[in-house]
Structure 1
Amino acid sequence: MSHALQPNKRLVTRLLLLAIAMFAFGFALVPLYDVMCKTLGINGKTGERYTQAQQIDESRQVRVQFVSTNSADMVWGFFPKAEEMNVHPGEVSEMLFVAQNPSDRPMTAQAVPSISPSIAAVYFHKTECFCFTQQMLQPGERIEMPVRFIVDRDLPADVKHLTLAYTLFDITARMPPVPKTEAGNGG
């Protein structure tokens, strides 16, 4: 009888080792994803918030294009105030994006940024961005949301144009809107 249990025992041992390996891999995914995003600039993970002042390189300009799209289920109006702007590397620049909730219900949204070309992502530093927080709008409400950024002086000289794109997602089902109150709003 013990001879018949050997294959089952090996199978259970292999399955247990596989389950442990899968569990460990699941934990390793988060730091691996963060490293990959930081390196490649995927999903707007462009490094830490950049607050260090830089000397402005007035000898060159970089054209920054702004693109906004909605995910398939998002009904908001969402667009930048301008399609593009020229900036000097090192200077603090700002663009306003407009969002409007045309629905008859409060909604919560999250903007996910991306930068192209991907090589430019590590040289694009957002110091303030509406993408850092979720946006909740009441029915018919319209807001202007700033993004402040610095194109790093170390941006390779052959990169003369970059695109900052945002996709707006409806996350109302995951983050139900909380009605705004007059007192205790806290800003």
Structure 2
Amino acid sequence: MNNTNKTAAKLAGVVVVMAGLSFAAVPFYDWFCRVTGFGGTTLVATEAPSEILDQTIQIRFDASTEVGMPWEFKPMQRTMTVRIGENALAFYEAYNPTDRVVGGTASYNVTPDAAGGFFSKIACFCFTEQVLQPGERVEMPVSFFVDPEIVKDREGKFVKEITLSYTFYETALPEEQAALKAADDGIVN
């Protein structure tokens, strides 16, 4: 093998490795954010901590939809004051004003970013796809707490207000729903 072929083989190897790393970057970044709370990504917990502080924190709720998502989506309360460590329950409302079945998935984050690693959800509508029938209106709960460790964190201890924000995106209907819709539309496979 001459030098030109060796160089070409090495460059092809570099291209393959770089392509592989580019595909791995998105899931790795997603995992990193979920584990560390980086970028305002919230954490998931199975239960609230046993320690509840007397100190409170203001939680603001925000809602939006992706361009083209036909749902109306809003928080049922704009703010809530919770004790740090306390399990709290908030509700969002979604409405499908269309004459068709629409599926959606919510992405979420919190601001400021310093709060992401201390804001944990126990249960949330955002964990699964939501499907609304034509004209259907639903209340969707989110159970959460702010970890007491926030008061010991060098940045977190200055956080007095956290905004929990959701954006709903339209998604393809699950197979069962799509089959029902096709049957309703008179489409046979």
TM-score, normalised relative to structure 2: 0.81
- CA root-mean-square deviation: 2.3
What is the total number of aligned residue pairs between the two structures? 173
State the shift of 1:168 in Å: 0.7
What does residue 78 of structure 1 align with? 73
Letter aligned with residue 163 of structure 1:
T
Q: 1:14 aligns with which of 10, 13, 16?
A: 10
Letter aligned with residue 34 of structure 1:
W
What does residue 39 of structure 1 align with? 36
What does residue 167 of structure 1 align with? 167
CA distance in 2: counterparts of 1:79 and 1:130, whole angstroms: 13
Letter aligned with residue 35 of structure 1:
F
Identity among equivalent pairs (%): 31
CA distance in 1: counterparts of 2:176 and 2:114, whole angstroms: 37
Mind listing any 5+ residue stretches in structure 2 that lack a counterpart?
151-155, 182-189
State whether residues 44 and 122 of structure 2, in contact with CA within 8 Å, keep that contact through their aligned partners in structure 1: no
Secondary structure of the structure 2 residue equivalent to 1:154: helix
What does residue 126 of structure 2 align with? 131
Q: Which runs of 4 or more aligned residues in structure 1 lie more than 4 Å from their structure 2 counterparts after TM superposition?
A: 174-177
CA distance in 2: counterparts of 1:52 and 1:92, whole angstroms: 6
Secondary structure of the structure 2 residue equivalent to 1:139: coil
State the shift of 1:20 in Å: 2.8
Mapping 1:66-145, distance limit 5 Å? 66-145=61-140
CA distance in 2: counterparts of 1:33 and 1:90, whole angstroms: 26
CA distance in 1: counterparts of 2:72 and 2:112, whole angstroms: 26
CA distance in 1: counterparts of 2:32 and 2:91, whole angstroms: 29
Secondary structure of the structure 2 residue equivalent to 1:125: strand
State the shift of 1:151 in Å: 0.8
Letter aligned with residue 167 of structure 1:
T
What does residue 185 of structure 1 align with? none
Higher helix share: 2
Letter aligned with residue 126 of structure 2:
C
